[in-house]
Chain A
Amino acid sequence: MKKLIIALLCGIIFGLGLSLSQMVNPNKVLAFLDLAGNWDPSLAFVMIGALAVAMPAFRYIQNRRQPLLENAFHVSHKTAVDKSLLTGAALFGIGWGMTGYCPGPAVASLGFGSLEALVMVVAIYAGFFTERYFAKQ
């Protein structure tokens, strides 16, 4: 039960952060990606703000034997830099640039009743299931 409350709380804080930083505004995101246009570097500052708090804290947290409410950390220990990582990241960047939405803002924007956010989320899931289907082949 506690874990579920934490998950909900974290989602809310994340959603507040996406809104305050205007990541939920796809035009703002595209203005960051548009180097040749009227470039808006704000989104780089979102990353700096997030990393400034997360980087020191992540190190400290993972020096603990376990999380407060779980037996172990569920953190990826993959190290291989392979074709799938780079191809996937490249495709993600293309989709991000086509839309101005990455997954978090797409979900958060569902709350605004935005039709394009709904299209985005449905399309993301279509992508998930397509990848899952081919991964099984």
Chain B
Amino acid sequence: MENFTPYSALLGGALIGLSAIILLLFNGRIAGISGIMNGVFKSPRDEVSWRSLFLAGLIIGALLFQWIAPGFVSPRAGYPLWLVALGGFLVGIGTRLGGGCTSGHGICGIANLSLRSILATLTFMATGFVTVYLIRHVFTLT
């Protein structure tokens, strides 16, 4: 556990929570990223613009952070791209079928004490654990 970073994790999590609070309080929207991403390619137009700006904000926020604390996050290199492509495809299908991801179910849904979100979160955590176990320790793909 030498890479354990509880304080930056708690504080970063609190910022994510704060973002979800502001979006709900002012705009009445849930900060679920997969839903926001999906909604960018949907009508009507005014629904598209706020979502695009939110996603642009994600990128700006990450860049801003890198500017404030250079070298804190370094991009991964050499990971098999076919695994990323296949995994990304499953993330796309799965989040639509299941109606949310780590942010929509894992944070906003659980904050609302939604049973659906609690069960969805337990499910994706469980299959995530199993998948990493298989990839790293059984098939040793990475």
Contact = CB atoms under 8 A, between A and B. Distances in A.
Interface of A: 2-4, 6-28, 30-31, 33-55, 57-58, 61-62, 66-70, 72-76, 78-81, 84-104, 106-117, 119-132, 135
A120 B129 CA distance: 20
Given A93-B131, A94-B128, A102-B33, 7 more contacts: A7-B53, A16-B65, A25-B76, A54-B17, A89-B94, A128-B38, A131-B92
A92 B61 contact: no
Most A CB atoms within 10 A — which of B38, B62, B75?
B62
Nearest to B57: A11
B88 A109 contact: no
A63 to B, nearest CB: 12
A104 B130 CA distance: 22
Given A7-B23, A103-B95, A128-B92, A19 B65 contact: yes
A136 B37 CA distance: 19
B55 to A, nearest CB: 5
A39 B1 contact: yes
B116 A79 contact: yes
B38 to A, nearest CB: 5
B61 A14 contact: yes
Interface of B: 1-6, 8-31, 33-34, 37-38, 41, 49-51, 53-66, 72-76, 79, 81, 83-99, 101-103, 105-116, 119-121, 123-133, 135-137
B111 A55 contact: yes
A29 to B, nearest CB: 9
Contact of A107 (B37, B65, B132): B37
A129 to B, nearest CB: 8
Nearest to B63: A111
A124 B88 contact: yes
A94 to B, nearest CB: 5
Given A14-B61, A21-B16, A128-B96, A86 B88 contact: no
Contacts of B38: 128
